[in-house]
Structures are given as C-alpha cells and as structure tokens.
Amino acid sequence: MKMRVLLHSCCGPCSVYPLDALRAEGHEPSLFFFNPNIQPFKEYEKRRGAVKLLAEKSGVELAVDDAYDVVEWLRMMVFREPGRCLVCYRHRLARAARAAKEGGFEAFTTSLLYSRHQKHELIRELASAVSEEEGVPFLYRDFRKGYQAGIEAGKKLGLYRQQYCGCIYSEQERYLGPLHKNPDAGGRP
C-alpha cells in the first residue's frame, strides 16, 4: 500500500538509503529535519545543509523545524547524561510524529534506524510509543542492511558526512571514550 511517509532525517548521509528504500517500496517519502541536539551551531548548519542538498538532488519535499535552542536541549540532558540518548531520541521522534500528523502523512519513520551506531531497539520502542501518543502510525524498517550502500551513495551526492552523533557528549566520547563507566558516578571516573 502506497503511503505518504515523513522521514525524520538526522543528517543527509543517513537519509540516503532510507529514502531510496521507501521509494522502492512504492511510498512517497518527504524529509523532515528537527535536530536541536547537534552542536556546535556550525555543525548543525552543515548537517541541515546536507539534508537540503539531498532533498534537492532527490526531488523530495523537505520541512525544517529550525527550533534550535541549545540551552533548552542542555536542560533536558543535565543530570541525565547516561540516559541522554533516550531523552534525545524521544524529543526528536515526538516532534517528527507531530509533524507527520500536522502534515497529513499516513506514517512516519526515522533515519536513526539506518546507523549501526545508534540504539536501534530503543529507537524502535520510543517511536512506537510516540506513534500511539500522537495517533500517527510509525513505519518500522531496519535500514541498517543498506549501511554501506548509503555511505557510497552519500559520497557520490557530495553530502557532508559528520564524525559523531551530534551532541557535545558524543563529540567528547569520540575522543575520550564513554563519559560514564559508572552511571551512578555523575561524571567521569
């Protein structure tokens, strides 16, 4: 059954394969960019630019929610650092579900399900929960099988490819390893 599907896009490269896969299934996907977790702002601009370029080159619609409030995002994370991904995923998925509902889409999904580096089952669980709350179906797909194909396609399209998930915590972990070896410690051991 062909559906209009809103694809939450965490970044351009991670959206290439999901976009192609949805089209191959006969769906009509549109991209949605809402990622207030990305820091610093220059990084945010690069990733938003890559999604815009992907939309242009792919001929799909793109909606951008530029509610970039780093202070609000950090307030959501403070003292929740060990569980920050849960809070962050939920925040972005809930906004995507609302955007899908507001836009009259028949379902929503997310490019977060493409990366081998994300918490796949947690994303699936949270997306299902916000789906029920918002009253818009969540279209689950395991996009990880197209991981390498997506990387190659993103390179061919000339999309900016980032080196960390997006938040300052993931940027730190990129260089120093996990923030909390002991989640109850409240800081680096």
Q: Where are the domains of the chain?
A: 4-176
User: 186 pLDDT exceeds 60?
Assistant: no
CATH superfamily of 4-176: HUPs (3.40.50.620)
Residue 179 binned pLDDT confidence (cut-offs 50, 70, 90): low
Global pTM value: 0.91
Residue 184 binned pLDDT confidence (cut-offs 50, 70, 90): very low
* Mean pLDDT score, 154-164: 93
Largest CA distance in the chain: 52
Q: pLDDT tens digit string along 39-83?
A: 999 999 999 999 999 999 999 999 999 999 999 999 999 999 989
pLDDT of residue 180: 56
pLDDT of residue 137: 98
pLDDT of residue 68: 92
Supply the mean pLDDT for the chain: 92
Q: How far apart are CA 166 and CA 184, in angstroms?
A: 24
Q: How far apart are CA 180 and CA 83, in angstroms?
A: 10
